[in-house]
Structure 1
Amino acid sequence: MGHVRKTAETLDVRALVRDRTKGILRLGPITVPCALGRSGIVVRKREGDGGTPAGRFRLLNVCYRPDRGLPPATLLPVKPLTERSGWCDDPASPRYNRPVERPFGASHETMWRDDRLYDVVVILDCNMAPAVKGRGSAIFFHIAREDYRPTEGCVAVAPAHMRLILSRIGAAADMVISA
């Protein structure tokens, strides 16, 4: 009988008191630094405000760049990104806050990035069911810049921390972001 690693279900995220664009992410006994949005954690999320929304969000699935590494070991569904992967951030579009294939006529985020930020990216259930126009889009859990500079509203961690966390969470994991 093989060893079964215990999984955890809640990732707790809190901002630092001295710098609201940086935080601490905890998963059971694991504690790692994280980057947050340029406006810190916000209770009333608006498109383009740079805030990381407070709330409880399911981790839906993981996307990764297959040209930059193996798929992460996780109980979450995993799928590769392609050069055509995008995410609609246009509140006027019927595809608002949904994955799209590029080229795409409305405003959208490119998921196949030149930097490493989306080499591994977890889609959070933030403003998705249903998507409310203007309440925020493309709120992800992804790879941080090396200096942990602020995100546009996402939660971001170092690549090794991302893979460690993904290997330890259960299939029904939530991220709780506290204001």
Structure 2
Amino acid sequence: MKNRWMLCGVALLLFLAIYAKPAFADFPRQKLISSKFFNESQMIIVEANGWDTKYAKLSTYEKIDGVWQKALSDMPATIGYNGFAQVMKEGGGASPTGIYNIGTGFGWAAKPAGTTYSYRVTTSYDYWVDDVSSPDYNKWIYFTGNPSSRWKSFERMNHPLYKYGAVIKYNENPIVAGKGSAIFLHVWKSSTSATAGCVAVSEANMKNILGWMNSKKKPLIVMGPTAKIDGYLYARSEKLNEVDILVNGVKHEFDQPPVLIDGRTLAPFRGIGELLGATVEWDATNETVHAELNGTTVELKYLSNIVKINGKSITLDTAPIIINNRLVVPVRFFAEAFDAEVKWDGSKNMVFINK
């Protein structure tokens, strides 16, 4: 009986090792972001050591030539005086958790020099409405009349701490009355001063963030306790632009459909390699693909845009990534390395490969 229980225990451990979700400790954040975020190229992460602290750390990430990497230096931040909220409510003094788009930059000061991100200079007629009974709730309203006659509660967008800021697009689609409003990234009062629910950093750092952000890169902000952040990232599911591939006039199916990301078609390395007639191997230890055909060898490394053809290094504008547990590689480079002809038909969302 004892041996039977031991065998059952071993079987259970093997099952968990094979089928369990990857442990976040063994799945570095750069890899996690790369495997879940395909339509954006900038990300801010605001994390705190628990739910109830006002102190946080702000980190920035950017995808450059297909590779997500740290951008600006990490910086201290403050959040709501009640920390992060497990349930958000109006006036709760806590900051929301989750993943949100970042909206326009703003401030009562002029747009910082060198900033290309969208920016709106605020006036004494700009208000953010937090009156839960108003149809204007959680909206930026320009109003030249007496605001107290129109709303029971509002924020002036020319507040001293809003010298520079950016909108965090929380509770917008749809707007739910009472779920919280006016969540911004803005200048702090001091390094020890909490906010009413926003994220705050030093003035210098706020200007650096505005100068770094690029509207075309669709910046996101991820907020929450450190222990929860990777879970939010892992749960992300994005719709991808799938592409058809024809090799020598024949359409082929793959276990992970080829996709178009940042203007480049990516397909499973083994599927596309074997269709070209190459011998393909995966080196799990070094996370590297090796392919060989007619004396030509190609080597691509996971999350690296530096590839090798016959030992010579070449820099690409994209990199192999993992989608749905499948490593995908840039199709044009991979095919042309083996002397195949590659054509793209945007009207049909189709790649033609002839060899």
TM-score above 0.5, yes or no: yes
Q: Share of identical aligned residues, percent?
A: 29
Unmatched runs of 5 consecutive residues or more in structure 2: 1-40, 61-69, 226-355
The structural deviation recorded for 1:17 is 5.0
* Matched letter for residue 85 of structure 1: D
Unmatched runs of 5 consecutive residues or more in structure 1: 1-7
The structural deviation recorded for 1:158 is 0.3
The structural deviation recorded for 1:18 is 10
Does residue 23 (structure 1) correspond to residue 23 (structure 2)? The answer is: no
Q: Distance in 2 between matches of 1:61 and 1:18?
A: 28
- The 5 Å alignment of 1:91-102 reads 91-102=132-143
The aligned residue for residue 81 of structure 1 is: 122
Task: Indicate the structure whose relative CO is greater, using CA pairs within 8 Å and at least 6 residues apart.
Answer: 1
TM-score, normalised with respect to structure 2: 0.45
Structure having the higher helix fraction is 2
TM-score, normalised with respect to structure 1: 0.87
The structural deviation recorded for 1:178 is 1.9
Q: Distance in 1 between matches of 2:192 and 2:166?
A: 18
Say if 1:131 and 1:18 are closer, same or farther in 2 by CA, change over 3 A: closer
The structural deviation recorded for 1:146 is 2.0
* Matched letter for residue 80 of structure 1: V
The aligned residue for residue 169 of structure 2 is: 125
Deviations, residues 42-80 of structure 1 (Å, cap 9, x unaligned): 1321101011000111111011113xxx30343431111
Q: 1:110 aligns with which of 132, 149, 156?
A: 156
Say if 1:42 and 1:17 are closer, same or farther in 2 by CA, change over 3 A: closer
Q: Distance in 1 between matches of 2:101 and 2:57?
A: 18
Say if 1:91 and 1:174 are closer, same or farther in 2 by CA, change over 3 A: same
Q: 1:162 aligns with which of 196, 203, 206?
A: 206
Q: Distance in 2 between matches of 1:11 and 1:148?
A: 21
Count of residues paired in the alignment? 168
Q: 1:42 aligns with which of 74, 81, 85?
A: 85
**Secondary structure in 2 aligned to 1:37?**
coil
Q: Distance in 2 between matches of 1:108 and 1:77?
A: 24
Say if 1:56 and 1:74 are closer, same or farther in 2 by CA, change over 3 A: farther
The runs of at least 4 consecutive aligned structure 1 residues that moved more than 6 Å come to none
Point out the structure with max Rg over C-alpha.
2
Aligned residues of 2:51 and 2:83 also touching (Cα < 8 A): no
Aligned residues of 2:165 and 2:184 also touching (Cα < 8 A): yes
> RMSD in angstroms over aligned alpha carbons?
1.9
